[in-house]
Amino acid sequence: MTKQELFENIKRKQSFLCVGLDTDFKKIPEHLYEEEDPIYAFNKAIVDATARYCVAYKPNTAFYESLGTKGLWALEKTIEYIRTKYPDQFIILDAKRGDIGNTSEMYAKSAFEHLKATAITVAPYMGEDSVSPFLNYPKKWVILLALTSNKGSQDFQLVEDANGEKLFEKVLKKSQEWGTDEQLMYVVGATQGSMFADIRKHAPNHFLLVPGVGAQGGSLEEVVKYGMNKECGLLVNSSRAIIYADSSESFASAASIEAKKVQTEMAKYLQAII
């Protein structure tokens, strides 16, 4: 998907919501245990209930890997389902990968050729040759970790060099030598709302994937205030608050209501730019 196509989807759907598919076997409604593939059945119902309110889905690979081949099979089917039934959705494989070149090539092959995701999250610690193999796929995206939403983000990401430049700022600057804003997005945690102004100094035109709204405590209003640009430039993720809104047989309609609630708020903020 191109950046322009993503922006068109955002305008048409009045939403920049990404629904995180952190599907945990222990948290899905018990009546689904009777299904042949409970994880896939859950995801399918969640996707059908929320697709009209979001522009992206973000399955988190850890949750599927923890179930072994069964889980990977559910992941494959989920992505295939979204691609087929909702081809306008931007599908992010949240995998935080990154390794030496020949290994990153394998991860890229897995994400883009095998699973056919639109984007993958990548960790920057190993530098350029660990990231660039993911950039060789036209219309596919790398979403590089910059400033994350967890407490541990303070351990290294905020460390300043001799010139006062923080590590995450260095990641933003350096990585722009590797790819354009048509290939690269950044993960920026919503719990650090005021930092968005700083991020936008270094990456005014890039899309930012923003986790941490909802369960992790970030405010959508603040993210928009400091982070939105003229092409929106934001994909805001919500996982638990939407997919686990209800654990009864009405889980899907509860998810739909929660997604709609976020979309309605987003539509309001989008008025400023469209």
Binding site for a second copy (CB under 8 A): 22, 24, 60, 62-63, 65-69, 72-73, 76, 94, 96-104, 106-107, 109-110, 114-115, 123-131, 145, 148-157, 159-162, 164, 167, 170-171, 174, 211, 216
Q: Which of 96, 174, 225, 261 is catalytic?
A: 96
Element (H, E) at 76: helix 69-85
CA–CA distance, 77 with 43 (Å, rounded to integer): 10
- Name which of 52 and 114 has its Cβ closer to a second copy: 114
- Name which of 5 and 161 has its Cβ closer to a second copy: 161
- Name which of 149 and 256 has its Cβ closer to a second copy: 149
The least distance separating a second copy from the CB of residue 196, rounded to whole angstroms, comes to 19
Which amino acid appears at position 260 of this protein? K
Nearest to 169 by CA among 180, 177, 158: 158
CA–CA distance, 91 with 46 (Å, rounded to integer): 15
Element (H, E) at 253: helix 251-270
At a CB cut-off of 8 Å and minimum separation 6, what does 230 contact? 273
The least distance separating a second copy from the CB of residue 152, rounded to whole angstroms, comes to 2
Element (H, E) at 122: strand 119-122
**Known active-site residue 96:** yes
The least distance separating a second copy from the CB of residue 252, rounded to whole angstroms, comes to 23
The least distance separating a second copy from the CB of residue 269, rounded to whole angstroms, comes to 25
Question: Phi and psi (nearest 5°) for 89?
Answer: -80, 140
- Name which of 99 and 246 has its Cβ closer to a second copy: 99
- Active-site annotation, residues: 96
